[in-house]
Amino acid sequence: MGAYVCPRTSSRTEPGKIAVVRVLVLFVLAVSLAFGSSFRLYLKNGDYQMAREYRINGDRVHYYSTERDQWEDIPVALCDLKKTEAKRQRAAADVQQQTKLEDEEEQFERAQRRIVEEIPMNAGAYFLENGQVKTLDYAESTFVKSKRRQALKMITPIPLVAGKVTVQLKGEQAKFSVGETEPEFYLRLEQEQRFGIIKLEPKNGVRIVEDIEIAPITNENFENPKQIATFQRQLAAGLYKIWPQKPLDPGQYALIEYTDGETDFRLWDFGCNTGTAAADRK
């Protein structure tokens, strides 16, 4: 079982200080652009002069040369003022766009920090709904051996028949359900383990988690999980956010925490009932 894990993000600098430095840098860029940064005063021959500011006096362009630190004049007929202003406006628009992106990033980071503070410190699975943290209950699973495989192994003189164990949960529906197709969950782990979201198969009053094939002679386990593709992002030490890469179909699912090659895992089951779960869960 596997899933895509986003790179770990961490910083030793306090978030508040990062935000202040970011705002100051952007402010300086904006001010310098408007009141004194150098720009190119383009000429019609393709050349340019580096200027800090300029104004038109009759048939002359009076500009301050940043290369020679003095005011100079040049005929208007030699200047490409249309290109000059287009470039300056584009540069100003770029600064504004960068400022907007930085502001949106800061807002996102603040929201993530608030979520980290709201998630309980206890290990488990959580779901954030309307600003409230919902705790998912741990699901008790059972292991059921295939009677047919057991009978075949008894009548076969050489142990060539593989064994089969079905992992299942009681009931065909989980008590907890979500009303969206791309739910975002939070997992706080006791130790670093793999985790993901699996699809359950309701059948005869239970939900099938997976079938485990047990090889003859060696007794090796070969799992057949129905894990779906997810995105995963670490928010803090031991705390992860996980969500599906594609919208979930209505059905039964579970968050799973596991170790490769071992059948000892933890499950938190949930249903995906688009449009009805939020109304039903009060």
Same domain, 99 and 137: no
| Residue 2: inside a domain | no
Same domain, 69 and 209: no
| Placement of tokens 């988690």 in the chain | 209
Range of the domain at 194: 121-280
Which residue among 118, 137, 170 closes a domain?
118
User: What per-residue confidence (pLDDT) applies to 164?
Assistant: 65
Same domain, 143 and 79: no
Same domain, 52 and 134: no
pLDDT digit string, tens, across residues 17-63: 555 545 454 454 444 444 457 999 999 999 999 999 999 999 999 99
Same domain, 140 and 68: no
CA dihedral for 12, 14, 15, 20, sign (positive or negative): negative
Question: Once rounded to an integer, what is the mean pLDDT over residues 100-112?
Answer: 84
Specify which of 74-88, 94-108, 147-161 reaches the highest per-range mean pLDDT.
74-88
43, 79 contact by CB (below 8 A): yes
Number of domains in the chain: 2
| Residue 6: inside a domain | no
> Which has the higher per-residue pLDDT, 207 or 32?
207
| Residue 4: inside a domain | no
Same domain, 88 and 182: no
Same domain, 77 and 168: no
Separation CA 257–CA 265 (nearest Å): 6
Same domain, 165 and 51: no
> Which has the higher per-residue pLDDT, 144 or 77?
77
Same domain, 140 and 169: yes
| Residue 3: inside a domain | no
For residue 85, the domain's CATH number is 2.30.30.100
Same domain, 109 and 130: no
Separation CA 158–CA 209 (nearest Å): 30
Residue 3 has pLDDT above 70, yes or no: no
Same domain, 179 and 77: no
Same domain, 183 and 274: yes
Tokens in use for 203? Answer: 């059948």
Separation CA 109–CA 19 (nearest Å): 10
